[in-house]
């Protein structure tokens, strides 16, 4: 249920930045390994925005895949799991994407 | 309790000072209970005066800012704050009770307890003679930086002291919410699965210490210690691991020594000219 408190954070930031304007659209970026369920955020968003400048706003969620760079062979590849090894077998990997948890932009009317 | 979002009228966060017995609400959660789908058809919006604002802001930035404020306050006051995280039932409170009894002679200690409901854990800590404040998160599944700030106002931990924060028993959410602590301490017990570090990697990645508790029960279990340590290091190669039994006291000396060394390095830094 941390999605509820994350959504409260989202609505609080969006409301502050809107400075009283009506918010019609919010775009989030949520990584595959961020431990956050986009569906749950969507669900909470409708509830938490009630009575705020973002009530009725459309929520767009960009889900970013996990990618990693292998230190053994230099390949960049998609990570199916947080600790997937490189196709070459190495586990010496730096995760490049997948942990995003950001508000990208919003549209006000 | 609201069946849709899990909140409840009695489930709002609250704080109890065990010394005064006073409970105050920490509530900031007011939403109307209408769970119908909104009809945000684009056709309804006027596009005449639309503005797109590029935010590129971390969703957790507010919590992170408040956590940073807590962290600065701890540094200014020379307080070692440790955030203890684990599943429910791993033995966090028992570890705290023993730690307090052993270390109280050498340092001032206070505790902030986080639980969804009840004062049970805070009452256990109070029986050790230690100062304690209980935060009940109600519908929440973790402590947040602003709750901790309110807890600190109530607890007023003395300068040059150890503050032990027992987070809500949960291996998911507390990993995301920085409280401003020096470090998280992840506690895992041998009655759980040895693959917990892999199943809940965020928690073990964000902790610099792991305590493997209840090692006295190993003869009766199929828990594979070597595998567990391997998994923990796979997720976090720098994690420092203590194998203990809070009940028998086995291995606890390493944990006490580590706290002692942290306290000493903090005091030395304050005393040094740079």
pTM of the model: 0.84
Is B4 within a domain? Answer: no
Buried b (16+ CB within 10 A) or exposed e, A36-64: beeebbebbbbbbbbebbbebbbbebeeb
Which residue from A9, A48, A107 is facing B31, i.e. has the nearest CB? Answer: A48
Domains parsed from chain A with CATH numbers: 2-64+97-108 (3.30.2320.50)
* Pairing label, strands B240-243, B207-213: parallel
Q: Do B57 and A101 touch (CB under 8 A)?
A: no
Q: Of the ranges A49-53, B29-33, B88-92, B201-205, which one carries the lowest mean pLDDT score?
A: B29-33
User: Considering the domain boundaries, does residue B24 fall inside one?
Assistant: no
Residue B14 lies in a domain: no
Residue B145: inside a domain, yes or no? Answer: yes
Chain A contacts of B237, Cβ < 8 Å?
none
Alpha-carbon gap, residue B20 to A95, rounded angstroms: 49
Range of the domain at B155: 61-264
Nearest neighbour of A104 by CB, restricted to B44, B56, B198: B56
Walk along chain A (109 residues) in steps of 10 and give the mean pLDDT of each run: 90 95 97 92 94 96 95 94 89 91 96
Q: Is pLDDT at B3 greater than 70 in this prediction?
A: no
Please count the other Cβ atoms lying within 10 Å of the Cβ belonging to residue A79.
Answer: 20
Choose among A46, A58, A102: nearest Cβ to B57: A102
Report residue B65: phi and psi, to 5°: -65, -45
Domain of B105, CATH number, reads 3.40.50.300
Q: Is B59–A105 a contact, with Cβ atoms under 8 angstroms apart?
A: no
User: What pLDDT does B11 receive?
Assistant: 63
Q: What is the pLDDT of residue B130?
A: 96
**Would you state the pLDDT for residue B42?**
40
Assigned domain for B28 exists: no
Three state DSSP letters for A15-71: HHHHCCCCEEEEEEEEECCCCCCHHHHHHHHHHHCCCCCCCCCEEEEEEECEEEEEC
Establish if B23 belongs to a structural domain. Answer: no
| Concatenated DSSP letters of B166-182 | E--S-SSGGGT---S-S
Number of domains in chain B: 1
* Chain B neighbors of A4, CB-CB under 8 A: 5-7, 139
pLDDT of residue B126: 95
- The Cβ of residue A29 has, within 10 Å, a number of other Cβ atoms equal to 19
Contact A104/B142, CB-based, under 8 Å? no
- pLDDT digits 0-9 by tens, B11-54: 678 999 998 889 988 865 433 333 333 333 343 444 567 899 99
Q: State whether residue B54 sits within 8 Å of chain A by CB.
A: yes
In a domain, B31, yes or no: no
**ipTM higher than the 0.95 cut:** no
* B5 inside 8 A of chain A by CB: yes
Query: Chain B window 183-242: which residues touch A at a Cβ cutoff of 8 Å?
Result: 198, 201-202, 234-235
Question: For chain A, which residues lie within 8 Å of any Cβ of chain B, measuring from their own Cβ?
Answer: 1-2, 4-6, 8-10, 12-14, 17-18, 21, 24, 28, 35, 43-44, 46-51, 55-58, 82-83, 91, 101-109
**C-alpha distance from residue B192 to each of B8, B91, B116, B195, B197 (Å):** 31, 12, 21, 9, 11
Mutation target vs B (from A23, A24, A44; most B CBs, 10 A cutoff): A24
Q: Which of B168, B224, B163 is nearest to B196 (CA)?
A: B224
pLDDT of residue A92: 86
Residue B50 lies in a domain: no
In angstroms, what separates the C-alpha of A17 from chain B's closest C-alpha? Answer: 8
């Amino acid at each position: 249920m941390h999605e509820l408190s994350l959504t409260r954070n989202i609505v609080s930031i969006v409301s502050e930045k809107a400075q009283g304007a009506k918010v019609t659209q919010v775009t989030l970026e949520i990584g595959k390994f961020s431990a956050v369920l986009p569906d749950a955020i969507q669900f909470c968003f409708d509830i938490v925005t009630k009575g705020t400048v973002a009530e009725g706003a459309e929520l767009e969620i960009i889900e970013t895949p996990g990618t990693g760079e292998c230190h053994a062979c230099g390949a960049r590849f998609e990570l199916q799991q947080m600790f997937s090894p490189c196709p070459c077998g190495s586990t010496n990997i730096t995760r490049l994407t997948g942990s995003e948890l950001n508000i990208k932009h919003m549209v006000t009317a | 309790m609201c069946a849709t979002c899990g909140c409840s009228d009695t489930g709002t966060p609250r704080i109890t000072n065990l010394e005064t017995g006073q409970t105050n609400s920490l509530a900031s959660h007011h939403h109307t209970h209408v769970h119908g789908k909104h009809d945000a058809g684009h056709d309804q919006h006027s596009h005449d005066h639309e503005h797109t604002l590029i935010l590129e802001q971390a969703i957790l930035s507010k919590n992170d800012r408040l956590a940073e404020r807590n962290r600065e306050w701890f540094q200014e006051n020379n307080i070692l704050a440790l955030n203890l995280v684990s599943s429910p039932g791993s033995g966090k409170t028992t570890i705290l009770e023993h730690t307090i009894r052993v270390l109280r002679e050498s340092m001032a200690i206070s505790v902030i307890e986080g639980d969804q409901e009840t004062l049970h854990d805070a009452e256990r800590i109070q029986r050790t003679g230690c100062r304690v404040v209980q935060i009940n998160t109600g519908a929440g599944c973790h402590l947040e930086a602003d709750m901790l700030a309110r807890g600190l106002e109530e607890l007023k931990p003395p300068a040059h002291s150890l503050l032990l924060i027992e987070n809500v028993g949960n291996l998911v959410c507390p990993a995301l919410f920085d409280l401003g602590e020096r470090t998280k301490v992840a506690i895992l017990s041998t009655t759980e699965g040895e693959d917990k570090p892999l199943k809940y990697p965020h928690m073990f990645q964000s902790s610099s210490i792991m305590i493997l508790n209840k090692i006295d029960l190993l003869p009766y279990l199929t828990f594979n210690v070597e595998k567990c340590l391997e998994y923990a290091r796979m997720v976090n190669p720098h994690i420092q691991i203590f194998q203990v039994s809070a009940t028998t006291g086995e291995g606890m000396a390493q944990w006490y020594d580590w706290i002692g060394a942290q306290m000493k390095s903090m005091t030395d830094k304050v005393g040094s000219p740079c």
